[in-house]
Structure 1
Amino acid sequence: MALPRFFVAQPLALGAQFDLPEGVARHVQVVRMQPGEMVTLFNGEGGEYQAQITAMGKKTVSVQVQTFAEVNRESPLRLTLVQAISAAERMDYTVQKAAELGVTVFQPVISQYCQQRYSGERAEKRIAHWQGVAASAAEQCGRTRLMEIRPIITLAQYLQAGLQSELNLLMCPTGAVHHSLLPAAVASATVLVGPEGGYSPEEDESAIAAGYTPLILGPRIFRTETVAPVIAGLLQLRYGDFA
């Protein structure tokens, strides 16, 4: 049976003794673990650590790191998802599934049809929230590195930075290219996904002018929260660790 697995945002080393973060400790107590039992810890820097519970207080759980395993469950495909911000629950779902499906970089952007717009402190809080969603997904799916979630910018700002991958795709219901026509092999890919209602015609034109290839998946129109997991799964099957 697999050990309970938790993300801890701190340095880890063999022999280290420390109290688990409050949220992790609460989880350990809820599932009624006891001193002497083992947990798996990771800090997003690669590999996993097995730690033994040494003591439990009313709100604290102390552990000692016993062993380290150099495991790597990252895809060989460096996949960047540029996702226009959608409604709260839909965006959380997108972040969660992107993390599970091996997306390397998650870039939230504001576009013309976005119903949610964040700036300043609100933007920082949303980024922190999405980082928590991604960390929980990594705990569940076995990733040893966290998906990088970048600060919110506008789509125009992202396009101005230029192409950053070998394959650059714009998810577009009127796309001229079917996924069956994608190249045979690439090491990196960037995908632009719009919000509810998609990108505006002007934004599609700007992305295409910037070098993005419009792509269509099939005959049906997907919701924004469906597009990201579908294209991520397809690209992992073609170029990544689903192959």
Structure 2
Amino acid sequence: MPRFFCPAPLHTGDLLDLPSGAARHVQVLRLQPGDSITLFNHGPGWDGASPGGEFEARVTLMGRSQVQVEIGSHQAVEREARRAVHLAVGMPANERMDWLVEKAAELGVASIQPLMTERSVLRLAAERATKKVEHWQSVAIAACEQCGGNRVPLVHGVKTLAQWLAAHNATDTDAPRALLLSLREGTQLLQGMDLGTSSALFLSGPEGGLSVAEESAAVAAGFAPVTLGARVLRSETAAITALALLA
């Protein structure tokens, strides 16, 4: 059954005009009145009142631009990771960031923070940054629609690493376990670390990694250096591998 993210309150028995994004997808699939779909709304724009999970729905009207559905039964099903993992990543260039966002959403990442670092090839600011974040958010939504996830990760606005670290508070008792991907000597292996069930915040650099000064700043901010092993992975591969181990 086709699945669609619908950032609106969902209640059994209601008639609902689908938001433009979901309506456009229904029309692309050439669905007709009477066809069944699945809706979920936990993610950016979630109102906090709807129960999460997912809802069955039936198409009742297909207009030129309007798609109306009747909300059916609620299924309290969740397919999320065992712990919340937040990913802060030095943005890789070209389509690699799209790939990273897609795969991270499929693996159940809780949020993604795009960062500009000393070695970042991709530089974004103002309107261009806003449009890129909107694009990456749509990539995350599409990934959750495909994989069965009911909680769309939030893609935060682009920041420099220095800005982001300045706002990070590792001393907060409720803060996630802060980990830094590093190739420095004596770094602990991520595989096999005992993290319990606590949430995690994972910082990974762009192509070429973080600079020595940036790593030192992250460590000073409370991040524990970890490694994935002897091989040097591409930036996007390393971030996804860490997420798979942590989630």
Q: When the two structures are superposed, what TM-score results if normalisation uses the length of structure 2? A: 0.87
Equivalent in 198, 211, 215 of residue 187 of structure 1: 198
Which SS does the other structure have where 2:30 is aligned? coil
Among the aligned pairs, what percent are the same residue? 43
CA distance in 2, matches of 1:21, 1:151: 23
1:168 aligns with 2:178: yes
1:241 aligned partner: none
User: 1:159 is matched with which residue?
Assistant: 165
TM superposition outliers: structure 1 runs of 4+ over 6 Å: none
1:83 aligns with 2:60: no
Matches of 2:199 and 2:24 in 1, distance apart? 39
For residues 166 and 146 of structure 1, the distance between their equivalents in structure 2, rounded to whole angstroms, comes to 19
Secondary structure, aligned partner of 1:88: coil
Task: Provide the C-alpha distance between the structure 2 equivalents of 1:54 and 1:186, rounded to a whole number of angstroms.
Answer: 43
Q: Distance in 2 between matches of 1:180 and 1:215?
A: 9
- Counting matched residue pairs gives 234
Q: Aligned runs of 1:136-155 on 2, under 5 Å?
A: 136-155=142-161
C-alpha displacement of 1:133: 0.7
Q: Give the superposition deviation at 1:189.
A: 0.9
2:239 corresponds to which residue?
228
Which range moves more in the overlay, 26-35 or 138-147?
A: 26-35
Asked whether the equivalents of residues 117 and 161 of structure 2 are also in contact (C-alpha less than 8 Å), the reply is yes
Measured on the aligned residues, the alpha-carbon RMSD in Å equals 1.9
1:61-210 aligned at under 5 Å gives the runs 61-160=67-166, 161-163=168-170, 165-174=175-184, 176-180=187-191, 182-210=193-221
Q: State how far apart, in whole Å, the 1-side matches of 2:223 and 2:94 are.
A: 27
Q: Which residue of structure 1 aligns with residue 49 of structure 2?
A: none
The match for 1:49 is 55
**Cα distance in 1 between the residues matched to 2:35 and 2:176:** 46
Q: 1:214 aligns with which of 220, 225, 239?
A: 225
Q: Match of 2:190, as an amino acid?
A: H
Inter-partner Cα distance in structure 2 for 1:131 and 1:107? 11
Alpha-carbon distance, 1:31 to partner: 3.0
Verify the 8 A CA contact 1:40 1:50 in the aligned structure 2.
yes
Partner of 1:37: 35
Query: Which whole-Å CA distance do the structure 1 matches of 2:80 and 2:205 have between them?
Result: 26
Q: Separation in 2 of the partners of 1:180 and 1:140?
A: 29
What are the superposed Cα offsets for residues 28-77 of structure 1, whole Å, 9 maximum, x if unpaired? 33333222111001112422111111122344432111221222222241
Contact 1:194/1:224 (<8 A) preserved: yes
| Maintained 8 Å contact 1:76/1:187 | no
User: C-alpha separation between the residues in 2 aligned to 1:103 and 1:195?
Assistant: 18
Write the distance in 2 (CA, Å) between the matches of 1:181 and 1:74.
21
Deviation at 1:184, TM superposition (A): 4.9
8 Å CA contact 1:167, 1:186 repeated in 2: no
- Per-residue CA deviations over 1:133-175 (Å, capped at 9, x if unaligned) read 1111111111111102222211112222222645221111235
2: CA distance between counterparts of 1:23 and 1:181?
Answer: 42
Give the distance between the partners of 1:30 and 1:82, measured in 2 at CA: 34
